Amino acid sequence: MSNFKLKKSEFMDLNLNKKSINEAIEDIDNNGPEGVDGIDTPLVDAPMDMPVDQTAGGAGVPTIEMEPSMGGSNLRKLNPETIGELTARLKDEYTAHYFYVNAANWCRDANYKKATAFFEAEALTELGHAKGLMDYMVDFNIIPTIPVTDTNQRFMGLVEIIEKAYAIELDLMDKYNASSAKLFASDLTTFDFLQVYRTGQKESVVEYNDLLNALELVDKNDKFQVLYFEQTYM
């Protein structure tokens, strides 16, 4: 057991201090910390790099700066040159689509069944190309403008259709190469995206080149030989 003892004067001081503490607690309960004499409201210590609001009513209260939102105008968008190139190619794809739709209709009327199926598939392929371009533009927050294009075609025969199809595919290959060359320095992402279009156009050109070479083996003015060609190569 401790032999510690308080003198009478120390005991009186302790009782007085205890009374003062009890009164202070009672005042805090009734009036809040602002109503107690000699007790200041503690300030919030702010980090060294955090700005502190020194205005009236906000003295000593740290302020928090919010990071800028990534919404709205801060989203990545395609540049005007890219938009122009993709919109032009979108028109070309729709032009090719309607060309093949009309070609399939002509072949169906002429009873070229295999050629009908062939050009119907080509029409769907071109439509898929157009959708791919639009999806890419929307992915980068651009609403595509669908260009007006020629939807009507007139044909005199299957040979004419194949010759025009070759010209369309060759023109598209050249245009995709030109678009890619323009965008190589300014938009490498779109350049990479167009790789599949460049490859596809090269394959289409080769396909129609082979059909035209096969046509050289038959008499183009002989309907039966053209029918043989259609049944064999399409």
Domain ranges of the chain: 7-44, 75-233
Confidence grade of residue 76 (pLDDT, cut at 50, 70, 90): confident
52: tokens are 């502190």
Q: What is the pTM of this model?
A: 0.68
- Closest-CA residue to 189 (of 77, 73, 72): 77
For position 42, what pLDDT does the model report?
47
pLDDT digits (tens, 9 = 90+) for 149-205: 888 889 999 999 999 999 999 999 999 999 999 999 999 999 999 999 999 999 999
* For residue 90, pLDDT beyond 50: yes
Distance between CA atoms of 53 and 72, rounded to whole angstroms?
A: 30
Q: What is the CATH T-level fold of the domain 75-233, as seen in this structure?
A: Ferritin (1.20.1260)
- What share of the chain has pLDDT > 90, as a percent? 64
Q: Which residue has the higher pLDDT, 174 or 23?
A: 174
For position 20, what pLDDT does the model report?
56
* For residue 75, pLDDT beyond 70: yes
Mean pLDDT to the nearest integer, 132-142: 97
- Closest-CA residue to 214 (of 140, 155, 164, 162): 162
Tally Cβ neighbours within 10 Å of residue 204. 21
**Phi, psi dihedrals of residue 62, rounded to the nearest 5°:** -70, 145
Tally Cβ neighbours within 10 Å of residue 168. 20
**Phi, psi dihedrals of residue 205, rounded to the nearest 5°:** -60, -45
Which distant-in-sequence residues (6+ apart) come within 8 Å of 200 by Cβ? 129
The CB-side HSE value for 184 (13 A sphere, CA atoms) comes to: 7
